[in-house]
Structure 1
């Protein structure tokens, strides 16, 4: 409903502003506002300054009418949080987790964390929905992971059905990079202004989220943007966890950095990495970035190579898609400047001049918070979508109605 969307996006708006913004008649706006007030979704918020005559009433979403849960599951950790209907996070917990332990273990922890967070809030309102991001391909219509390379035991797992059964609320599940992209565009003003952007995560894996006109583009089945498994010439015959060879992720992702770091350490090519290997018996991408920050030339070269490889693939996407903004996130990127600089150099050198004329390439403004933010807005965008809103509005809220999440996806977002 356009009136509700306008009130959500501009808290404190008034009847006259709604009429002007939406091009609707005063009577239509008044009727729709009255319906939203009767449903408990909109409330008055004082008076706005008068421009002549009676001062108009300010309107706002009743953000405390319900809660939404956001779940950001990564390869080695997860964040679970509760937010109000404006998207403001009220409480959150983060803990280490191994996604390879399987859905029963990981989702069991998710369920307990959601329950713990609910118990912390005095008289919590109903849970309106749950949004989940996972580090693998997801068929968005069914919310089921499909052959995720780093998620053994998750293929086809009914994540929606399990959580909906536990909490009696609608559930949406998406690939983690789509969730990150959504978080960025909903909470980063620069991303919202750009409208057309690419969010690229370089961490344990590599992926991209495509945003067009402010809405996430998922493709027919939900796997748009899976650039980590694009073949790159530099990868040669290096095996990837997806079962193929020559994938970008196999030579530029976090696991590839850890593999190359160990080789350097064992061959005496990096004293800093050799020291870390001796101390812990293994190396991770975080060790590479830590060594690079200490000035280790070999570690810096590893990160720069990864950035060049990712940048080469991105250059093709930039020429093809012509975004106004590329946002880089993930642990590998945020640990130092080498990757960002190398990505920028490759993209600007190899993309079409017209495609880069207005292009900005920046680090994520939200950092690690993007995943939880995106998971929360995955729910809010879905429950307030016009078709779904019309379905649950007669009940007063989507709480207790898990089927609100089922059915055809409401367009590209």
Structure 2
């Protein structure tokens, strides 16, 4: 088992090749500052462990052309899932986070942990069989499992903590269940954190270091990336802006039990509630027709109505955008991100909501905080949480401390206890 400086340099070499930053031994040396002998030793070890392989000859700088190195992205796979309030997205990725197979379907998180996770495991198994068949690799190992949940999660234990919309989930041992099922390390986080991580690694925030990801769906939440690292807070609940106070009124009770919460006025459930009321009261002919034909009104119906010029629906979306923008303006002035990414189902309600958010943020934030600020819609859309759940696992597996535990055997599969390996505090 490599230790100390050895594992640090080993992880550095592997990260450079995994990320595509360096493709040859000379490039690794230039990027890392490591000597030629050390680079050669670490590359040889990683090759012997099955993590790297030789590729084609690279460009020559005058002498002998160097051999390019490749990370063996399909040495194993990651099982990843994002569980939302009303749907689940499940997938299998390679070790670079590339999705190899995926499936999305409607499912009520309030059904409870056993039926929901039973279904997730069933889809995992089906997709895993599919990938193994397509790659002609029947023994392809599961290197880790990543799950995003629509509620507060204590990251250290992988357990939900008093989630407002998840009856029966409080304290449920999600990590332990999946670790037993797949005999591999498992990480569990809030779905908005996985969405933020997905955008950071493979979406519109790629290459950024300070971003704010905001999900506007059934509920509202935020993921915070600081210095290129996801900020979870002491217990893992940083970014829970949906339950920040947006009003002093006590006429609307949020699903968390409090009044005045942002998502109780601006989330998808709130838009559906207010749209239904508008339909029943005759204030929206468009929504009244929807109600008559379907028996209900959804946030998507409000969006379609607004795009059709329905005045009441335009007012509902504009009001929601301004409420969200007001809270984000405070966060932008406080945190000063370079980029705000807006995602979630309601964010795809056309440009009206996004325009209201932007106008309010730029008007209410400090000029210096918004001088170079960009506010954009998610490019990964409904795939962000799935991709981010995979990257959560990948990032954790390849930390130097964990890499030292499994690199000699070439795979972390079969070692669920890797999640308990303590990590060194970063040097400030």
Q: Secondary structure at the match of 1:244?
A: coil
Instruction: Output the CA distance in 1 between the equivalents of 2:181 and 2:175.
Output: 10
Q: Given that residues 11 and 59 in structure 1 are in contact (C-alpha distance below 8 angstroms), is that contact kept between their aligned partners in structure 2? A: no
Query: Counterpart in 2 of 1:176?
Result: 191
Is the 2:338–2:374 contact (alpha carbons within 8 Å) kept by the matching residues of 1?
A: yes
| Structure 1 residue 194 displacement after superposition | 2.3
Counting only pairs closer than 5 Å after superposition, residues 33-182 of structure 1 correspond to structure 2 as 33-121=43-131, 122=133, 123-124=137-138, 125-182=140-197
- Report the counterpart of residue 185 of structure 1 in structure 2: 200
Q: Distance between the aligned counterparts of 2:120 and 2:404, measured in 1?
A: 30
Shift of 1:214: 1.6
RMSD value, Cα: 1.3
Distance 1:12 1:40 in 2: 18
Counterpart secondary structure, 2:260: coil
Structure 1 distance, partners of 2:395, 2:314, is: 40
Q: 1:410 to 1:314 in 2, by over 3 A?
A: farther
Distance 1:12 1:51 in 2: 15
| Paired residue secondary structure (1:29) | helix
Q: Write the distance in 2 (CA, Å) between the matches of 1:180 and 1:186.
A: 10
Q: Give ranges in structure 1 of 5+ residues lacking alignment.
A: none
Q: Quote how far apart the aligned CAs of 1:407 are.
A: 4.0
Partner of residue 303, structure 1:
317
CA 1:280–1:341: 2 relative to 1, 3 Å: same
Of residues 13, 23, 28, the one that matches 2:33 is: 23
Could you say if the C-alpha distance between residues 181 and 109 of structure 1 is closer, same or farther in structure 2, counting changes exceeding 3 Å?
same
- Contact residue 401 and residue 421 of structure 2 kept, 8 A: no
Within 5 Å, give how 1:248-259 maps onto structure 2.
248-259=262-273
The answer as to 2:378 corresponding to 1:368 is: no
1:2-13 matched pairs, under 5 angstroms: 2-10=12-20, 13=23
Provide the residue aligned with 2:228 in structure 1.
214
Check whether the contact 2:92–2:127 (CA below 8 A) recurs between aligned residues: yes
Name which of 255, 278, 287 aligns with 1:273.
Answer: 287
Asked if 1 retains the 8 angstrom alpha-carbon contact of 2:183 and 2:413, the reply is: yes
The 8 Å contact of residues 254 and 285 in structure 1, kept in 2 or not, is answered as yes
Equivalent residue for 1:353, pick from 367, 376, 380: 367
- With the length of structure 2 as denominator, give the TM-score of the two structures: 0.94
- Provide closer, same or farther for how the CA distance between residues 409 and 280 of structure 1 changes in structure 2, counting only shifts above 3 A: farther
**Structure 1, 127-136 or 277-286: larger mean CA deviation:** 277-286
Structure 1 equivalent of residue 7 of structure 2: none
- After superposing on structure 2, the runs of 4+ consecutive aligned residues of structure 1 that deviate more than 6 Å are none
Asked if the contact 2:22/2:28 (under 8 Å) is kept, the reply is no
Q: CA deviation at 1:394?
A: 2.3
With over 3 angstroms needed to count, the CA separation of the structure-2 counterparts of 1:409 and 1:162, relative to structure 1, is farther
What is the aligned residue count? 411
Ranges in structure 2 where 5+ consecutive residues have no aligned partner: 1-10
Other-structure match for 1:230 = 244
CA distance in 2, matches of 1:260, 1:95: 26
How many Å apart are 1:57 and its aligned residue?
A: 1.1
Q: Is the alpha carbon distance of 1:181 and 1:273 closer, same or farther for their aligned partners in structure 2, counting shifts above 3 Å?
A: same
TM-score (norm 1): 0.97
CA contact (8 A) 2:22 2:31 kept: no
328-337 or 201-210, which deviates more = 328-337
